[in-house]
Chain A
Amino acid sequence: MRYGLFAFAVPAGILTFGHTCEAQVFLTEDQALRSLFGNCRIERREKALTDEDRQALLKATGLRFPESSFRFLVAERNGATIGYSLVMNEIGKSEPITFMVAMSPEHRVVDVLVMVFRESRGAEIREKRFLRQFQGKKSADPITIDNDIVNYSGATLSSKAITRGVKRALGLFNHFYPVSGSSQRVSPAFMLPALPMPHQIGTYRQVRYMMGTLCDIRLHADSSAHASAAASAAFSEIRRLEKVFSAYDAESELSRVNREALRASVPVSADMWKLSRAAVGYAKATGGVVDVTVGPLLKALRRGDNIEEASRRVGIHKIALDAQNRTVRFMAEGLEMDFGGLAKGYATRRAAEVLRRWDIPSALINLGGSSILTQGAEGWLVGVADPASPNRYAAIISVKPDTAVTCSGTYERCIETPTGLVSEIIDPRTGQPLTGLRAAVAITASPVLGEVLSKALLLNRSARSSAQEFLLVTGRPEGPAIDPHLSRTALFT
């Protein structure tokens, strides 16, 4: 009986403690979507599977697709697609596990959320530490247990079910929304993942979905705890800036400015002020090539409206900045700001500052493969995707410390117009989207400047001299081999 009292004493302690831990909950479809994409419009697109589809999918994935149809949940904000998701049902041991696979327009897995788990064993696979492995995966990856996915010991059948489901989801996504040629919506890898230098093996890495893309932070640290804390702090900063600069979030500061700046001068935060002032300066410096007021033109292209009329609502000179009161005022009706890549560049720089405060000796911050910043004492290798074959490297660049590598390309993001898909990069001077498979990489000290220069390089070749070093890549590289250290300018046309 001496242990009898203990049996009742311990549960009380655990009850109190238990509520501090992360609860495992089932999710409805709406809850899962909200968790993944926030507030957005969801379009449900049913895709029926024919025998030909099944054969093609079997060939592509090696997996069977006996279902008659799948329903894609397409998340959209302000007319732009921000993600796709599929609800998968995969048999674990004897019961289906229902989970949602969310994929980015870049055809990479954003996240996996388990919605219903019915098996008696193996519920551990609902844990983040297992599901996090799938983030950033693309269909070309093996996505197999004991290869690039670590099995959850004691939950092997459930681990296999989730792994199989993710691979099937990516296969379906590629099948129904293919990535090929100029008709592709988005390149699967605009700038391929940075490669660690040989001495950097073992670098800590975290990937999260923010600012409408995958944010990848790799860093060196004394311990995983140090790395985790520093990366979390950097991600928090990016998340904070997303709430400032998001054009898709009606609650963001930018949306508030866009709504109110025509009626009155709007006081803005320090971040908004800095970037607004920089944007005005860069627009003037590039002769209007890089213009954050280009939003009305994009909307007109999407709707098939008159471009000339939309052009009248565009122009950086229609924004009035009051430095003394730190306010923004729009001087013309219909004006809207959209910082796009500039916001990414700004967030990249701020995240690097956070990592520096955390005493991270060396880090690489990669926002969506288009804005990369190295920080610290060591260099990194960055691969640039070949626009004609995005799974191949057109160049591998050895990037010095504290250097930004920024890439803009006609195939980075596309918009759907009544006449077809066109590049999201448009020339504000003509209102026309850029054509052809082109990409420009700028290597600069500042990622914001890099965003400006990479776009300017595409739209206005006279800007080349402004970059420290740059690289222009087109679909058919015919020039000499790229100098890996870029001691000189290399140009592909």
Chain B
Amino acid sequence: MTFIFRPVLVLFTVSSLCAVALAQSTPAAEQSLHVGGYGSFRFEGNDIPDRQFVPGGSAKGFTFRRFVLTTDSKLSDRLRVYSETEFERLLEIEVEKKATRESGAVKFAQEVEGNSGGEVSIEQLWLQFDLGGNQAIRAGIVLPPLGRFNINHDDDYWDLPRRTLVDRDAPAVPVKTAWREAGAGLVGSFNLGRQSKVSYQAYVLGGSTLDFNLENVAQTRVPGRSKQELEAEVRLKSGAVDGTKNAEAFSWRLAVSPTLAGEIAVSGYHGKYTPQFLSISEPINSLGLDGKWRFGKFEVEGEGIYSAFGNTQTVAAAFADAVANSSVETSSAEASPLESEIEIGLDGLARRRYGFWTDFKYHWRPGFLKKTFLGKGFEDPQIIPILRYERVWINQEIEELAFRGGAIQGLDLVSRQQHRVTAGINYRPLQRVGFQFAYEHNGRRAGDRLIFPEVAVGSSNGFLMGVTFSF
């Protein structure tokens, strides 16, 4: 984790020093530090057969989705530092290292303890310098403003207990939400007439890149033999923040709000995603269209994302070449009954990914609610019936790649398509707390399996209950 924290710490320190220096020349203002956060839990029941492994997760039972701690420090009227630290699907992580002397020799031991998969990450960490007139410079770890979900990803904002396919489970955005990148740019807004407002965000970013995760699997087999499996999973992830990544991406969003009732926005992301060790350059170009509108108590919100990843076969060929020109050394294979296996997976690399989602909501505040145990004592309790329809297309995804001597021998490309319909109710005793109930139907429209949950069935149905909160 050092490679993440060191540059962040440097950035934070430099930003803070600059902010303090600048604050001294601005008029006195109320300084403040707010510590807040949000989180969510979910229970899911579905008709996926028992014991079926679901990559990416959609298991029956309870899920601790995430807990995010936020800090917001206003150093002066014009300087602000904001951070979000996320604990996702994780209860504990414990690292133990020790070096001991035993029987005349030194023994080094390193132990990692924890429960099943999860992560601790910094979702946002930026400094904002207000220029006046509603314009500001923002720099640090920021959220690329492609679409509206990524920049409004707080769980308590939403009324359903699962994030959208487009932004999370079958991402049409380059990196699933919460997608963050190191960068700097401008945010602001200006009024047009008495009612209209235009707001924008534009950042130069390090940019998403194909990155790898190493998975080490120890497997017992027949007595006396074991297998060690090393799997390198290569997928698009947020770019490195350790100073090894050039600024190779640009993301923007332009929103027009003709009235208070809503806004419509266009957005984009343009960058190079191939890592330097591949010595090729392939672009991502994403476009988004999103909006939200209120008609009294009725509300419509939606987003559409289209992402093109250039010539993915070139990327696959470059991988084949890179792997063939490298070597793996092991001395254990012949000396002991330990079988070693190395796999490389290109996860989710497709030529195009696109999709949309739309939410239809009604903010219902029945008079009787405050008289029942549900709403008694709350100022503005509301029940929100919601219907979400979403659909995702993945075109020419690399399913399987076989190569020999750096040349591609076989390449299986698949195209998949899925829709999801979710009908739910969210009870909000407070704006910041939601009790969510939803029925979810996933349907395969093309391909041999669902995109999410990734199982070889034509459809799946589930019932979800969730709790979201912020403070």
> Chain A: residues with CB nearer than 8 A to chain B?
1-4, 6-7, 10-11, 14-15, 17-24, 26, 63, 93-95, 116, 118-120, 127-130, 132-133, 144-147, 150-154, 156-157, 160, 164, 206, 224-225, 228
Contacts and interface: CB of A to CB of B under 8 A. Distances in A.
A273 to B, nearest CB: 35
Nearest to A132: B194
Contact of B261 (A15, A63, A127, A150): A150
B82 A11 contact: no
Interface of B is mostly: strand
Interface residues of B, number: 51
Contacts of A15: 131, 135
A132 B29 CA distance: 27
A130 B247 CA distance: 39
In the complex, the 10 A-B pairs of residues with the closest C-beta atoms, listed nearest first = A18-B133, A21-B133, A120-B72, A18-B135, A7-B204, A150-B260, A3-B204, A21-B190, A146-B297, A3-B250
Nearest to A229: B193
B247 A146 contact: no
B34 A120 contact: yes
Given A7-B204, A144-B380, A146-B363, 4 more contacts: A14-B188, A18-B133, A22-B134, A146-B294
Interface string B63-81: 0000000001010010010
B74 A120 contact: yes
Contact of B132 (A10, A23, A26, A224): A23
Interface of B: 29-30, 32, 34, 36, 72, 74, 77, 80, 82, 131-135, 137, 152, 184-186, 188, 190-191, 193-195, 197, 202, 204, 246-250, 259-263, 292, 294, 296-297, 363, 365, 379-380, 431-432, 470-471
21 contacts: A10-B202, A14-B131, A14-B186, A14-B188, A18-B135, A19-B132, A21-B135, A21-B190, A22-B133, A23-B132, A23-B133, A116-B30, A118-B32, A120-B72, A127-B191, A132-B194, A146-B294, A146-B297, A152-B260, A154-B152, A157-B431
Give the residue among A3, A24, A118, A145 with the most B Cβ atoms within 10 A.
A3
A116 B247 CA distance: 38
A224 B192 CA distance: 12
A144 B297 CA distance: 11
Contacts of A6: 204, 250
Nearest to B29: A26
A345 B135 CA distance: 44
A21 B185 contact: no
B204 A20 contact: no
B380 A153 contact: no
B195 A224 contact: yes
Contacts of B263: 153
Contacts of A133: 260
Contact of B247 (A7, A127, A160, A225): A7
Contacts of A152: 260
Contacts of B74: 120
B415 to A, nearest CB: 32
Contact of A160 (B36, B152, B248, B431): B431
A360 to B, nearest CB: 16
A190 to B, nearest CB: 27
B247 A224 contact: no
B432 A93 contact: yes
B432 A3 contact: no
B126 to A, nearest CB: 12
Nearest to B131: A18
Contact of B36 (A1, A93, A129): A93
Nearest to B194: A228
A17 B247 contact: no
